[in-house]
Amino acid sequence: MDSYEDIYNRMKIRYKQLSSYDVPELSDIDIRMRVLAGEIYNDEVNLEFVKRQIFCSTATGDYLDYHAADRGLTRNGAVKSRGNVRFFVNEPLEVAILIPAQTVVSTSGDSPVRFVTDSDAVLSAGSQYTTVSCTAQNGGINGNVAAYTVDTLITNVVGIDGVENLYSFSGGTNTESDEVLRKRVLDTYKWPSNGTNKAYYKKLALSVEGVCSANVVPRARGTGTVDVYISGENTVTPISLVNEVEALIQSQRELNVDVDVSAAEILRATIGVFVDLKDGYGLDEVTQNINNNVAEYMSKLEVGEGLPQYPLSAAILSAEGVENFLFDYTYQNAFPADPEVLIVYNEVLVSEREVE
């Protein structure tokens, strides 16, 4: 695309060719040329923008959403992480303490992450702690915090001395990126739904609100059978969602085809690594960066996909502050594909590699 200066200079050259005179600086004709060149440049910029947005392979943002809508798809929103926290007292009390739903707790530090309790809970008289399920206040991978990081009471609960999480929070994912949504849209062109293939049943399953991932296995139980495995938000798939997908597919399946819909099995992957830190970075900071990258990568995995080491390694190496790393093979770091399983992020345990 031509720049503003290119357009303006061509106009001056053409003016001289036709009139045999140079354009006087800041003359009336010069000002008119500058204004016209600016308008032409703006039109070219707008045209380039339209050219990018008109094709799915280059469209972005809301315009990519329009392409997705044409194919019956919508962008997946951010998912909130979930986990458990333990409210405790230093000494057992003679009375019970009510911990109401929507009690807010958080991590400490410069960028605290808040969580809210899902239901009322009671710390019984004579007990020192009670465990309550919590959900992140906001969606995104920032809610996937490590164990023992939730340590601050935001909502004051009379009698409670503190709060802690013995295990990490997981399941939080960011709003689906353009890159991931674009791949899903383009896949509908590569494998068009025709009522007799995997894409048809997968599209039906994903059309149900709450279904984030689905895998279709033809002939799983012999000729004329189709098995569908689905996963919902926060990787929790309630039986009501399975029944809804089952009812939809049964009403639109092919004749003489036996379709079975099930909730995918959830495999929470814990990965171990030894890292070399770049100068100026601390282990805690790098650990968080690695966990964020791996959580973001694994949020894109679908039911039936494996977790190979190559893209996992790329996610770790691209984390800010990582010079190099080795897998800690105390943990399983590569997970094979299983048609019934959704592999989800749990935690990356990071240790600094010792210099030999």
Q: Strand, coil or helix: what is 104? A: strand
Q: Name which residue leads in pLDDT, 127 or 220.
A: 127
Domain 191-263 fold is GMP Synthetase; Chain A, domain 3 (3.30.300)
Residue 233 has pLDDT above 80, yes or no: no
Provide the percentage of residues in the chain whose pLDDT is more than 70. 97
pLDDT in tens, 274-293: 999 999 999 989 999 999 89
12 phi/psi in degrees, rounded to 5? -65, -40
Q: Strand, coil or helix: what is 20? A: coil
Q: 């997705």: which residue's tokens?
A: 68
Cα–Cα distance, 103 to 20 (Å, whole number): 81
The residues pairing with 88 across neighbouring beta strands, listed in sequence order, are 129, 162
Cα–Cα distance, 149 to 317 (Å, whole number): 24
189-204: b or e for each residue (b if 16 or more CB lie within 10 Å)? eeeebeeeebbbbbbb
| pLDDT at position 196 | 60
Cα–Cα distance, 124 to 122 (Å, whole number): 6
Q: Name which residue leads in pLDDT, 50 or 109.
A: 50
The residues pairing with 98 across neighbouring beta strands, listed in sequence order, are 122
First-to-final CA distance of the chain: 55
> Edge to edge, what strands does the sheet with 258-263 contain?
211-218, 225-232, 258-263
270 phi/psi in degrees, rounded to 5? -105, 130
Q: Going by C-beta distance under 8 Å and a sequence separation of 6 or more, which residues neighbour residue 311? A: 297
Cα–Cα distance, 37 to 56 (Å, whole number): 31
> Which amino acid belongs to residue 258?
D
Residue 46 has pLDDT above 90, yes or no: yes
Determine if the pTM surpasses 0.75. no
Cα–Cα distance, 254 to 195 (Å, whole number): 7
| pLDDT at position 78 | 85
Domain coordinates of the chain in residue numbers?
4-53, 82-164, 191-263, 265-352
Angle between helices 283-298 and 309-317 (to 10 degrees): 140
DSSP letters spanning 5-64: HHHHHHHHHHHHHHHSSPPPTT-HHHHHHHHHHHHHHHHHHHHHHHHHHTSTTT--HHHH
Q: Going by C-beta distance under 8 Å and a sequence separation of 6 or more, which residues neighbour residue 31? A: none
Q: Strand, coil or helix: what is 100? A: coil
Residue 172 has pLDDT above 90, yes or no: no
Cα–Cα distance, 11 to 356 (Å, whole number): 68
For residue 352, give the nearest of 269, 307, 290, 270 by alpha carbon: 290
Tokens of 322: 């990582």
| pLDDT at position 193 | 61
For residue 135, give the nearest of 154, 114, 109, 166 by alpha carbon: 114
CB-count burial class (<10 Å; 0-12, 13-18, 19+) for 337: middle
Asked if 242 contacts 230 with a C-beta cutoff of 8 angstroms, the reply is yes
Name the band, by pLDDT with cuts 50, 70 and 90, for residue 216.
very high
Residue 192 has pLDDT above 80, yes or no: no
- Provide the H-helix boundaries in 144-301: 178-190, 198-206, 239-252, 283-298
